[in-house]
Protein backbone atom coordinates (compact mmCIF):
# COMPACT_ATOMS: atom_id res chain seq x y z
CA UNK A 1 0.00 0.00 0.00
CA UNK A 2 1.47 3.38 -1.06
CA UNK A 3 0.85 6.26 1.34
CA UNK A 4 0.10 9.84 0.27
CA UNK A 5 0.19 12.85 2.60
CA UNK A 6 -1.80 15.95 1.66
CA UNK A 7 -0.37 18.73 3.84
CA UNK A 8 -2.17 21.77 2.34
CA UNK A 9 -5.79 22.46 1.48
CA UNK A 10 -6.63 20.52 -1.69
CA UNK A 11 -9.85 20.47 -3.68
CA UNK A 12 -12.15 17.65 -2.59
CA UNK A 13 -12.19 16.24 -6.12
CA UNK A 14 -8.47 15.46 -5.80
CA UNK A 15 -8.87 13.87 -2.37
CA UNK A 16 -11.64 11.63 -3.72
CA UNK A 17 -9.39 10.44 -6.55
CA UNK A 18 -6.77 9.35 -4.00
CA UNK A 19 -9.38 7.61 -1.82
CA UNK A 20 -10.71 5.64 -4.78
CA UNK A 21 -7.30 4.67 -6.21
CA UNK A 22 -6.31 1.02 -5.82
CA UNK A 23 -3.30 0.38 -3.59
CA UNK A 24 -3.14 3.96 -2.29
CA UNK A 25 -3.98 5.33 1.17
CA UNK A 26 -4.28 9.08 1.71
CA UNK A 27 -3.95 11.16 4.87
CA UNK A 28 -4.98 14.82 4.95
CA UNK A 29 -3.06 16.73 7.63
CA UNK A 30 -2.98 20.46 7.00
CA UNK A 31 -1.38 23.19 9.07
CA UNK A 32 1.57 21.05 10.19
CA UNK A 33 4.49 22.86 11.78
CA UNK A 34 7.92 22.14 10.22
CA UNK A 35 8.95 19.80 13.04
CA UNK A 36 5.61 17.99 12.88
CA UNK A 37 5.96 17.43 9.13
CA UNK A 38 9.55 16.29 9.55
CA UNK A 39 8.50 13.80 12.25
CA UNK A 40 5.94 11.99 10.08
CA UNK A 41 7.15 12.42 6.47
CA UNK A 42 9.30 9.28 6.63
CA UNK A 43 6.27 6.99 6.36
CA UNK A 44 4.92 8.49 3.11
CA UNK A 45 5.63 7.72 -0.53
CA UNK A 46 4.11 10.94 -1.88
CA UNK A 47 3.56 14.47 -0.59
CA UNK A 48 0.93 16.81 -2.04
CA UNK A 49 1.28 20.53 -1.32
CA UNK A 50 0.17 23.97 -2.39
CA UNK A 51 2.04 27.10 -1.28
CA UNK A 52 1.85 26.84 2.53
CA UNK A 53 4.04 23.78 3.18
CA UNK A 54 7.78 24.46 3.03
CA UNK A 55 9.56 21.37 1.72
CA UNK A 56 13.05 22.18 2.97
CA UNK A 57 16.23 20.13 2.79
CA UNK A 58 15.62 18.98 6.38
CA UNK A 59 12.19 17.66 5.47
CA UNK A 60 13.50 15.85 2.39
CA UNK A 61 16.41 14.36 4.36
CA UNK A 62 13.88 12.89 6.79
CA UNK A 63 11.65 11.55 4.01
CA UNK A 64 13.27 8.13 3.67
CA UNK A 65 10.43 6.61 1.61
CA UNK A 66 9.41 9.69 -0.34
CA UNK A 67 9.29 9.20 -4.11
CA UNK A 68 7.33 12.18 -5.39
CA UNK A 69 6.32 15.71 -4.37
CA UNK A 70 3.29 17.16 -6.16
CA UNK A 71 2.38 20.85 -6.21
CA UNK A 72 -1.26 21.62 -6.97
CA UNK A 73 -0.39 24.76 -8.91
CA UNK A 74 2.64 26.20 -10.65
CA UNK A 75 4.99 27.91 -8.18
CA UNK A 76 7.70 25.80 -6.55
CA UNK A 77 9.50 28.46 -4.51
CA UNK A 78 8.60 26.46 -1.38
CA UNK A 79 10.36 23.26 -2.54
CA UNK A 80 14.10 22.59 -2.36
CA UNK A 81 14.23 21.04 -5.83
CA UNK A 82 18.00 20.54 -5.81
CA UNK A 83 17.89 18.45 -2.61
CA UNK A 84 14.89 16.51 -3.90
CA UNK A 85 16.79 15.66 -7.08
CA UNK A 86 19.83 14.50 -5.10
CA UNK A 87 17.57 12.14 -3.15
CA UNK A 88 15.89 10.87 -6.33
CA UNK A 89 12.57 12.47 -5.41
CA UNK A 90 10.46 13.57 -8.39
CA UNK A 91 8.96 17.07 -8.18
CA UNK A 92 5.79 17.67 -10.22
CA UNK A 93 3.54 20.67 -10.69
CA UNK A 94 0.41 21.44 -12.71
CA UNK A 95 1.26 24.13 -15.25
CA UNK A 96 -1.70 25.75 -16.91
CA UNK A 97 -4.29 24.81 -14.31
CA UNK A 98 -4.69 28.34 -12.98
CA UNK A 99 -3.43 30.48 -15.85
CA UNK A 100 -6.77 31.87 -17.02
CA UNK A 101 -8.02 32.59 -13.50
CA UNK A 102 -4.88 34.57 -12.61
CA UNK A 103 -5.17 36.62 -15.80
CA UNK A 104 -8.84 37.30 -15.07
CA UNK A 105 -7.92 38.44 -11.56
CA UNK A 106 -5.50 41.02 -12.96
CA UNK A 107 -8.25 42.40 -15.20
CA UNK A 108 -10.71 42.38 -12.27
CA UNK A 109 -8.28 44.31 -10.08
CA UNK A 110 -7.68 46.87 -12.82
CA UNK A 111 -11.42 47.45 -13.25
CA UNK A 112 -12.06 47.61 -9.50
CA UNK A 113 -9.16 50.02 -8.98
CA UNK A 114 -10.03 52.46 -11.75
CA UNK A 115 -13.71 52.61 -10.71
CA UNK A 116 -13.06 52.70 -6.93
CA UNK A 117 -15.31 49.70 -6.33
CA UNK A 118 -13.79 48.54 -2.98
CA UNK A 119 -13.78 52.12 -1.64
CA UNK A 120 -17.34 52.66 -2.78
CA UNK A 121 -18.49 49.46 -1.11
CA UNK A 122 -16.80 50.37 2.19
CA UNK A 123 -18.15 53.93 2.05
CA UNK A 124 -21.72 52.87 1.36
CA UNK A 125 -21.65 50.24 4.13
CA UNK A 126 -20.46 52.98 6.47
CA UNK A 127 -23.60 54.97 5.72
CA UNK A 128 -21.97 57.48 3.35
CA UNK A 129 -22.84 58.60 -0.19
CA UNK A 130 -19.58 59.85 -1.77
CA UNK A 131 -20.27 59.98 -5.50
CA UNK A 132 -18.04 63.00 -6.16
CA UNK A 133 -15.09 61.71 -4.12
CA UNK A 134 -15.11 58.32 -5.82
CA UNK A 135 -15.16 59.42 -9.42
CA UNK A 136 -13.31 56.87 -11.57
CA UNK A 137 -11.71 56.57 -15.01
CA UNK A 138 -12.73 54.75 -18.14
CA UNK A 139 -10.31 52.18 -19.49
CA UNK A 140 -11.58 52.24 -23.07
CA UNK A 141 -8.90 53.85 -25.22
CA UNK A 142 -6.32 53.84 -22.43
CA UNK A 143 -2.92 52.17 -22.74
CA UNK A 144 -2.12 49.00 -20.79
CA UNK A 145 1.56 48.13 -20.43
CA UNK A 146 2.12 44.39 -19.98
CA UNK A 147 5.52 43.43 -18.57
CA UNK A 148 6.10 39.75 -19.31
CA UNK A 149 4.44 38.07 -22.28
CA UNK A 150 4.19 34.52 -20.96
CA UNK A 151 1.08 32.42 -20.54
CA UNK A 152 -0.64 34.78 -18.12
CA UNK A 153 0.63 38.03 -19.62
CA UNK A 154 -0.54 37.03 -23.10
CA UNK A 155 -4.05 36.24 -21.80
CA UNK A 156 -4.21 39.58 -19.95
CA UNK A 157 -3.20 41.34 -23.19
CA UNK A 158 -5.92 39.50 -25.11
CA UNK A 159 -8.62 40.31 -22.54
CA UNK A 160 -7.57 43.99 -22.45
CA UNK A 161 -7.82 44.18 -26.24
CA UNK A 162 -11.43 43.02 -25.86
CA UNK A 163 -11.97 46.00 -23.55
CA UNK A 164 -10.80 48.32 -26.37
CA UNK A 165 -7.52 49.19 -24.71
CA UNK A 166 -4.28 49.84 -26.51
CA UNK A 167 -1.90 47.11 -25.36
CA UNK A 168 1.88 47.52 -25.38
CA UNK A 169 4.20 44.70 -24.31
CA UNK A 170 7.73 44.50 -22.95
CA UNK A 171 9.45 41.13 -22.73
CA UNK A 172 13.19 40.91 -23.47
CA UNK A 173 12.95 37.16 -24.00
CA UNK A 174 10.20 37.17 -26.62
CA UNK A 175 10.79 38.27 -30.19
CA UNK A 176 9.13 41.42 -31.49
CA UNK A 177 7.71 39.39 -34.37
CA UNK A 178 5.82 37.02 -32.06
CA UNK A 179 4.25 39.85 -30.06
CA UNK A 180 3.26 41.78 -33.16
CA UNK A 181 1.90 38.66 -34.84
CA UNK A 182 -0.56 38.40 -31.94
CA UNK A 183 -1.65 41.98 -32.65
CA UNK A 184 0.14 43.86 -29.88
CA UNK A 185 2.90 46.47 -29.85
CA UNK A 186 6.36 45.33 -28.72
CA UNK A 187 8.10 48.23 -27.02
CA UNK A 188 11.14 48.98 -24.91
CA UNK A 189 10.78 49.24 -21.14
CA UNK A 190 11.41 53.00 -21.33
CA UNK A 191 8.61 53.43 -23.87
CA UNK A 192 6.24 51.34 -21.78
CA UNK A 193 6.92 53.44 -18.70
CA UNK A 194 6.40 56.68 -20.62
CA UNK A 195 3.23 55.56 -22.43
CA UNK A 196 1.19 53.29 -20.16
CA UNK A 197 -1.82 54.47 -18.16
CA UNK A 198 -1.93 51.06 -16.44
CA UNK A 199 1.01 48.68 -15.89
CA UNK A 200 0.60 45.01 -15.02
CA UNK A 201 3.55 42.70 -14.27
CA UNK A 202 3.61 39.00 -15.19
CA UNK A 203 7.21 37.89 -14.72
CA UNK A 204 8.66 35.13 -12.52
CA UNK A 205 10.36 36.04 -9.27
CA UNK A 206 14.08 35.82 -10.01
CA UNK A 207 17.22 37.52 -8.81
CA UNK A 208 16.87 40.03 -11.66
CA UNK A 209 13.16 40.75 -11.12
CA UNK A 210 13.13 41.32 -7.35
CA UNK A 211 12.35 45.01 -6.92
CA UNK A 212 11.82 45.35 -10.68
CA UNK A 213 9.29 48.15 -10.18
CA UNK A 214 11.21 50.47 -7.88
CA UNK A 215 11.84 54.17 -7.31
CA UNK A 216 13.80 54.56 -10.54
CA UNK A 217 11.05 52.83 -12.51
CA UNK A 218 8.25 54.89 -10.96
CA UNK A 219 10.11 58.11 -11.78
CA UNK A 220 10.05 57.18 -15.49
CA UNK A 221 6.30 56.51 -15.57
CA UNK A 222 3.48 58.83 -16.59
CA UNK A 223 1.97 60.88 -13.78
CA UNK A 224 -1.21 59.17 -12.59
CA UNK A 225 -0.18 55.67 -13.65
CA UNK A 226 -1.89 52.69 -12.01
CA UNK A 227 -0.03 49.49 -11.06
CA UNK A 228 -1.29 45.88 -10.91
CA UNK A 229 0.72 42.95 -9.52
CA UNK A 230 -0.73 39.44 -9.57
CA UNK A 231 2.62 37.76 -10.24
CA UNK A 232 4.88 37.37 -7.20
CA UNK A 233 5.46 39.43 -4.08
CA UNK A 234 8.72 41.37 -4.16
CA UNK A 235 8.64 42.21 -7.87
CA UNK A 236 7.18 45.55 -6.82
CA UNK A 237 9.26 47.32 -4.18
CA UNK A 238 6.58 48.11 -1.59
CA UNK A 239 8.47 50.91 0.16
CA UNK A 240 9.12 52.69 -3.15
CA UNK A 241 5.51 52.13 -4.23
CA UNK A 242 4.30 53.72 -1.00
CA UNK A 243 6.38 56.86 -1.64
CA UNK A 244 5.27 57.01 -5.29
CA UNK A 245 1.61 56.78 -4.24
CA UNK A 246 2.01 59.39 -1.51
CA UNK A 247 3.58 61.81 -4.00
CA UNK A 248 0.75 61.25 -6.46
CA UNK A 249 2.99 59.90 -9.21
CA UNK A 250 1.17 56.57 -8.91
CA UNK A 251 -2.57 57.24 -8.74
CA UNK A 252 -3.53 53.73 -7.68
CA UNK A 253 -2.20 50.24 -7.09
CA UNK A 254 -3.81 46.82 -6.96
CA UNK A 255 -1.80 44.08 -5.27
CA UNK A 256 -2.64 40.41 -4.94
CA UNK A 257 0.85 39.41 -3.75
CA UNK A 258 3.26 40.82 -1.18
CA UNK A 259 6.92 40.73 -0.20
CA UNK A 260 5.91 38.86 2.97
CA UNK A 261 2.74 36.78 3.07
CA UNK A 262 0.66 37.37 5.02
CA UNK A 263 1.94 40.97 5.03
CA UNK A 264 0.77 41.98 8.51
CA UNK A 265 0.61 45.74 8.98
CA UNK A 266 1.95 47.61 5.95
CA UNK A 267 2.20 51.39 5.38
CA UNK A 268 0.52 50.75 2.03
CA UNK A 269 -2.69 49.83 3.83
CA UNK A 270 -2.95 53.42 5.08
CA UNK A 271 -3.52 54.62 1.50
CA UNK A 272 -7.09 54.84 0.25
CA UNK A 273 -6.04 54.41 -3.38
CA UNK A 274 -4.51 50.98 -2.74
CA UNK A 275 -6.72 47.96 -3.23
CA UNK A 276 -5.55 44.46 -2.40
CA UNK A 277 -6.49 40.81 -2.13
CA UNK A 278 -4.85 37.96 -0.15
CA UNK A 279 -3.15 36.10 -3.04
CA UNK A 280 -6.42 35.17 -4.72
CA UNK A 281 -5.11 35.03 -8.29
CA UNK A 282 -5.51 31.27 -8.52
CA UNK A 283 -8.38 31.01 -6.03
CA UNK A 284 -11.42 30.16 -8.10
CA UNK A 285 -13.48 27.02 -7.70
CA UNK A 286 -12.65 26.00 -11.25
CA UNK A 287 -8.90 26.52 -10.91
CA UNK A 288 -8.62 24.74 -7.58
CA UNK A 289 -10.61 21.81 -8.89
CA UNK A 290 -8.46 21.69 -12.03
CA UNK A 291 -5.14 21.62 -10.18
CA UNK A 292 -6.39 19.22 -7.48
CA UNK A 293 -7.57 16.71 -10.07
CA UNK A 294 -4.44 17.17 -12.19
CA UNK A 295 -1.96 16.56 -9.37
CA UNK A 296 -3.94 13.61 -8.00
CA UNK A 297 -4.05 11.97 -11.43
CA UNK A 298 -0.33 12.56 -11.96
CA UNK A 299 0.71 11.11 -8.59
CA UNK A 300 -1.65 8.13 -8.86
CA UNK A 301 -0.32 7.39 -12.36
CA UNK A 302 3.23 7.53 -11.05
CA UNK A 303 2.65 5.39 -7.94
CA UNK A 304 0.64 2.77 -9.84
CA UNK A 305 2.41 2.71 -13.22
CA UNK A 306 5.69 4.60 -12.88
CA UNK A 307 4.52 7.22 -15.39
CA UNK A 308 6.07 10.66 -14.91
CA UNK A 309 4.19 13.77 -16.07
CA UNK A 310 4.94 17.47 -15.58
CA UNK A 311 8.09 16.77 -13.57
CA UNK A 312 10.47 19.71 -13.28
CA UNK A 313 13.54 17.67 -12.37
CA UNK A 314 13.37 14.43 -14.41
CA UNK A 315 12.12 13.54 -17.90
CA UNK A 316 9.28 11.13 -18.62
CA UNK A 317 11.30 7.98 -19.31
CA UNK A 318 11.78 4.51 -17.83
CA UNK A 319 13.84 4.07 -14.68
CA UNK A 320 16.55 2.05 -16.45
CA UNK A 321 17.07 4.62 -19.18
CA UNK A 322 17.00 7.38 -16.57
CA UNK A 323 19.84 5.65 -14.70
CA UNK A 324 21.98 5.38 -17.86
CA UNK A 325 21.17 8.90 -19.08
CA UNK A 326 21.56 10.59 -15.70
CA UNK A 327 25.14 11.91 -16.19
CA UNK A 328 24.26 13.27 -19.62
CA UNK A 329 21.06 14.83 -18.27
CA UNK A 330 23.13 16.67 -15.67
CA UNK A 331 25.60 17.81 -18.33
CA UNK A 332 22.81 19.00 -20.62
CA UNK A 333 21.20 20.92 -17.78
CA UNK A 334 24.50 22.58 -16.87
CA UNK A 335 25.11 23.61 -20.49
CA UNK A 336 21.62 25.10 -20.71
CA UNK A 337 22.03 26.87 -17.38
CA UNK A 338 25.35 28.37 -18.50
CA UNK A 339 23.86 29.54 -21.79
CA UNK A 340 20.98 31.22 -19.97
CA UNK A 341 23.49 33.34 -18.06
CA UNK A 342 25.67 34.20 -21.07
CA UNK A 343 23.17 35.20 -23.74
CA UNK A 344 21.12 38.37 -24.00
CA UNK A 345 18.31 39.39 -26.31
CA UNK A 346 15.18 37.44 -27.36
CA UNK A 347 15.95 33.85 -28.36
CA UNK A 348 15.39 33.00 -32.02
CA UNK A 349 17.11 29.63 -32.52
CA UNK A 350 18.51 26.81 -30.37
CA UNK A 351 20.56 24.01 -31.90
CA UNK A 352 21.78 21.01 -29.90
CA UNK A 353 24.28 18.60 -31.44
CA UNK A 354 25.36 15.21 -30.06
CA UNK A 355 28.67 13.95 -31.45
CA UNK A 356 30.44 10.69 -30.59
CA UNK A 357 29.50 7.50 -28.76
CA UNK A 358 26.34 7.67 -26.65
CA UNK A 359 25.93 3.88 -26.47
CA UNK A 360 22.91 3.88 -28.77
CA UNK A 361 20.74 5.79 -26.28
CA UNK A 362 17.94 8.14 -27.30
CA UNK A 363 19.42 11.53 -26.42
CA UNK A 364 16.25 13.57 -26.95
CA UNK A 365 15.59 13.75 -23.14
CA UNK A 366 19.03 15.32 -22.76
CA UNK A 367 18.22 17.90 -25.45
CA UNK A 368 15.00 18.66 -23.56
CA UNK A 369 16.91 18.95 -20.28
CA UNK A 370 19.26 21.52 -21.83
CA UNK A 371 16.35 23.46 -23.35
CA UNK A 372 14.43 23.41 -20.06
CA UNK A 373 17.43 24.77 -18.15
CA UNK A 374 17.87 27.47 -20.80
CA UNK A 375 14.24 28.59 -20.57
CA UNK A 376 13.76 28.17 -16.80
CA UNK A 377 15.12 31.61 -15.77
CA UNK A 378 12.62 33.21 -18.14
CA UNK A 379 9.44 31.21 -17.44
CA UNK A 380 10.51 29.65 -14.13
CA UNK A 381 8.05 27.06 -12.79
CA UNK A 382 5.99 26.96 -15.99
CA UNK A 383 8.65 24.98 -17.84
CA UNK A 384 9.28 21.27 -17.36
CA UNK A 385 10.41 18.22 -19.31
CA UNK A 386 6.96 17.80 -20.83
CA UNK A 387 6.29 21.31 -22.11
CA UNK A 388 9.78 22.77 -22.76
CA UNK A 389 9.66 22.22 -26.52
CA UNK A 390 6.10 23.51 -26.76
CA UNK A 391 7.01 26.66 -24.82
CA UNK A 392 9.94 27.23 -27.19
CA UNK A 393 7.61 26.85 -30.18
CA UNK A 394 5.01 29.18 -28.66
CA UNK A 395 7.71 31.81 -28.16
CA UNK A 396 8.80 31.58 -31.77
CA UNK A 397 12.07 29.80 -30.99
CA UNK A 398 13.29 27.41 -33.67
CA UNK A 399 14.62 24.28 -31.93
CA UNK A 400 16.61 21.50 -33.55
CA UNK A 401 18.83 18.58 -32.53
CA UNK A 402 21.30 16.52 -34.53
CA UNK A 403 23.32 13.38 -33.85
CA UNK A 404 26.63 12.30 -35.33
CA UNK A 405 28.79 9.26 -34.58
CA UNK A 406 31.99 11.27 -35.09
CA UNK A 407 33.65 13.48 -32.51
CA UNK A 408 37.15 14.76 -33.18
CA UNK A 409 38.52 15.45 -29.73
CA UNK A 410 36.23 13.67 -27.24
CA UNK A 411 34.50 10.33 -26.87
CA UNK A 412 31.22 12.26 -26.77
CA UNK A 413 30.36 15.95 -26.98
CA UNK A 414 27.16 17.93 -26.44
CA UNK A 415 27.06 21.33 -28.13
CA UNK A 416 24.35 23.98 -27.68
CA UNK A 417 24.21 26.95 -30.03
CA UNK A 418 21.88 29.83 -29.18
CA UNK A 419 20.96 32.57 -31.62
CA UNK A 420 19.25 35.69 -30.26
CA UNK A 421 18.34 38.96 -31.93
CA UNK A 422 21.64 40.36 -30.63
CA UNK A 423 24.23 37.54 -30.60
CA UNK A 424 25.20 33.94 -31.29
CA UNK A 425 26.71 31.90 -28.46
CA UNK A 426 28.01 28.33 -28.46
CA UNK A 427 28.76 26.14 -25.42
CA UNK A 428 30.02 22.54 -25.55
CA UNK A 429 30.54 19.99 -22.80
CA UNK A 430 31.56 16.40 -22.23
CA UNK A 431 31.95 13.85 -19.46
CA UNK A 432 35.31 13.12 -17.84
CA UNK A 433 35.18 9.54 -16.61
CA UNK A 434 31.60 8.30 -16.22
CA UNK A 435 29.91 11.16 -14.39
CA UNK A 436 32.05 14.33 -14.15
CA UNK A 437 30.72 17.20 -16.28
CA UNK A 438 33.13 19.57 -18.00
CA UNK A 439 32.50 22.62 -20.17
CA UNK A 440 35.18 22.39 -22.85
CA UNK A 441 34.27 25.17 -25.27
CA UNK A 442 32.66 28.61 -25.18
CA UNK A 443 32.62 30.09 -28.67
CA UNK A 444 36.28 30.23 -29.79
CA UNK A 445 37.70 29.52 -26.33
CA UNK A 446 38.89 26.05 -25.33
CA UNK A 447 38.93 25.18 -21.63
CA UNK A 448 38.08 22.54 -19.01
CA UNK A 449 35.60 24.11 -16.61
CA UNK A 450 33.77 22.34 -13.77
CA UNK A 451 30.21 23.76 -13.77
CA UNK A 452 29.63 23.90 -10.01
CA UNK A 453 29.38 26.56 -7.33
CA UNK A 454 29.83 30.35 -7.37
CA UNK A 455 31.66 31.26 -10.55
CA UNK A 456 32.83 34.32 -12.41
CA UNK A 457 33.65 34.31 -16.11
CA UNK A 458 36.34 36.84 -16.98
CA UNK A 459 37.54 37.82 -20.45
CA UNK A 460 40.99 39.32 -20.20
CA UNK A 461 43.97 40.24 -22.34
CA UNK A 462 46.58 37.45 -22.38
CA UNK A 463 49.63 39.25 -21.01
CA UNK A 464 51.98 38.79 -18.03
CA UNK A 465 50.51 39.87 -14.71
CA UNK A 466 46.87 40.03 -15.76
CA UNK A 467 45.80 36.97 -13.74
CA UNK A 468 47.80 38.26 -10.79
CA UNK A 469 45.84 41.55 -10.86
CA UNK A 470 42.60 39.65 -10.63
CA UNK A 471 43.83 37.51 -7.73
CA UNK A 472 45.11 40.57 -5.89
CA UNK A 473 41.78 42.36 -6.25
CA UNK A 474 39.85 39.38 -4.88
CA UNK A 475 42.31 38.79 -2.07
CA UNK A 476 42.09 42.42 -1.00
CA UNK A 477 38.34 41.95 -0.67
CA UNK A 478 38.68 38.74 1.39
CA UNK A 479 37.30 36.51 -1.39
CA UNK A 480 38.94 33.11 -1.60
CA UNK A 481 39.44 31.41 -4.97
CA UNK A 482 38.54 27.73 -4.69
CA UNK A 483 39.67 26.83 -8.20
CA UNK A 484 40.55 28.50 -11.45
CA UNK A 485 40.38 27.32 -15.06
CA UNK A 486 41.91 29.26 -17.93
CA UNK A 487 40.95 28.83 -21.57
CA UNK A 488 42.71 30.42 -24.50
CA UNK A 489 41.21 31.83 -27.67
CA UNK A 490 41.87 29.58 -30.67
CA UNK A 491 43.20 32.54 -32.63
CA UNK A 492 43.77 35.75 -30.72
CA UNK A 493 45.35 37.29 -27.65
CA UNK A 494 42.57 36.84 -25.09
CA UNK A 495 42.01 34.42 -22.25
CA UNK A 496 38.78 33.29 -20.69
CA UNK A 497 39.04 32.63 -16.95
CA UNK A 498 36.58 30.78 -14.76
CA UNK A 499 36.99 31.47 -11.05
CA UNK A 500 35.15 29.42 -8.46
CA UNK A 501 34.93 31.31 -5.17
CA UNK A 502 33.84 30.18 -1.73
CA UNK A 503 31.16 32.90 -1.66
CA UNK A 504 29.43 34.92 -4.40
CA UNK A 505 31.46 37.93 -5.52
CA UNK A 506 29.63 41.10 -4.37
CA UNK A 507 28.54 43.63 -7.00
CA UNK A 508 31.09 46.31 -5.93
CA UNK A 509 33.93 43.80 -6.35
CA UNK A 510 32.59 42.79 -9.77
CA UNK A 511 32.76 46.46 -10.77
CA UNK A 512 36.31 46.71 -9.39
CA UNK A 513 37.35 43.75 -11.53
CA UNK A 514 35.75 45.34 -14.58
CA UNK A 515 37.88 48.40 -13.96
CA UNK A 516 41.19 46.51 -14.28
CA UNK A 517 43.16 47.45 -17.39
CA UNK A 518 43.52 43.86 -18.63
CA UNK A 519 39.89 42.84 -18.01
CA UNK A 520 37.40 43.15 -20.86
CA UNK A 521 34.30 41.53 -19.33
CA UNK A 522 33.15 39.96 -16.04
CA UNK A 523 30.01 37.80 -15.80
CA UNK A 524 29.00 36.34 -12.40
CA UNK A 525 27.51 32.82 -12.71
CA UNK A 526 25.67 30.49 -10.36
CA UNK A 527 25.28 26.70 -10.60
* 98-112, 287-301, 316-330, 467-481: segment of lowest average pLDDT: 316-330
Rounded to the nearest integer, the mean pLDDT of the chain is 90
Nearest alpha-carbon partner for 11 in 297, 256, 230, 261: 297
105, 232, 395, 438: which one is catalytic? 232
Confidence of residue 316 (pLDDT cuts 50, 70, 90): low
Domain limits at 39? 1-96+284-314
Same domain, 375 and 523: no
Same domain, 523 and 439: no
Same domain, 229 and 119: yes
The answer to whether the beta carbons of residues 204 and 229 sit under 8 Å apart is no
* 118-127, 253-262, 453-462: segment of lowest average pLDDT: 453-462
Same domain, 474 and 412: no
Same domain, 130 and 263: yes
Mean predicted confidence (pLDDT) in 209-232? 96
CA atoms within 13 A on the CB side of 25: 6
Residue 55 DSSP symbol: B
Same domain, 146 and 232: yes
CATH code, domain carrying 115:
3.40.50.720
Confidence of residue 353 (pLDDT cuts 50, 70, 90): very high
Q: Report the domain count for the chain.
A: 4
Instruction: Using the 3D structure, point to which of 416, 443, 470 is the last residue of a domain.
Output: 443
Q: Give, in degrees to the nearest 5, the angle at Cα 438 between 437 and 441.
A: 145
Confidence of residue 493 (pLDDT cuts 50, 70, 90): low
Residue 270 DSSP symbol: G
* 148-162, 169-183, 245-259, 404-418: segment of lowest average pLDDT: 404-418
261, 490, 511, 526: which one is catalytic? 261
Q: What is the pTM for the complete model shown?
A: 0.76
| 3 state SS of 194 | helix
Burial 372-400 (b: 16+ CB within 10 A, else e): bbbbbbbbbbbbbbbbbbebbeebbbebe
* 82-86, 201-205, 329-333: segment of lowest average pLDDT: 82-86
The answer to whether the beta carbons of residues 427 and 441 sit under 8 Å apart is yes
Same domain, 268 and 292: no
Instruction: Using the 3D structure, point to which of 249, 276, 303 is the last residue of a domain.
Output: 276
Same domain, 308 and 327: no
Q: Is 459 assigned a catalytic role?
A: no
- pLDDT value at residue 323: 74
Instruction: Using the 3D structure, point to which of 390, 414, 443 is the last residue of a domain.
Output: 443
Q: Is 232 assigned a catalytic role?
A: yes
Neighbours of 330 (CB within 10 A): 19
* Residue 278 dihedral angles phi and psi, to the nearest 5°: -85, 70
- pLDDT value at residue 467: 80
Same domain, 57 and 179: no
Q: How far apart are CA 169 and CA 199, in angstroms?
A: 10
What long-range pairs does 160-169 form, CB within 8 A, spacing at least 24? 160/107, 163/107, 163/139, 164/140, 165/139, 165/140, 165/141, 165/198, 166/141, 166/142, 167/143, 168/143, 168/144, 168/192, 168/195, 168/196, 169/145
Q: Is 395 assigned a catalytic role?
A: no
71, 105, 159, 279: which one is catalytic? 279
List Cα–Cα distances, 56 to 9, 76, 106, 143, in angstroms: 19, 12, 31, 43
Nearest alpha-carbon partner for 291 in 515, 119, 70: 70
- pLDDT value at residue 381: 62
Confidence of residue 491 (pLDDT cuts 50, 70, 90): low
Amino acid sequence: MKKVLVSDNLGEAGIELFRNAAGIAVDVKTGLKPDELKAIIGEYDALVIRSATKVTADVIDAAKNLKVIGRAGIGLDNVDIQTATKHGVIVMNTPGGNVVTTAEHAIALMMAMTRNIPQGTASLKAGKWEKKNLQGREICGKTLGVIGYGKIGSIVADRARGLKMRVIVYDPYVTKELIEKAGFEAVSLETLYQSADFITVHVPKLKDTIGFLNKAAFEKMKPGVMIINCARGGIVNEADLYEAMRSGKVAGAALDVFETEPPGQSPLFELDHLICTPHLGASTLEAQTNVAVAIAEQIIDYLQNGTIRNAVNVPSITGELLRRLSPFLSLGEQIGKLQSQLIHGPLKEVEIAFAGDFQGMDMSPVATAALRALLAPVVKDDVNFVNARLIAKDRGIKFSETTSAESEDYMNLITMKCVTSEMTNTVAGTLFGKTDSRIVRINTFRLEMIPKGHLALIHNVDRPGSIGEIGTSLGKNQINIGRMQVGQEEEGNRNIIFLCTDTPIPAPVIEELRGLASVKKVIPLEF
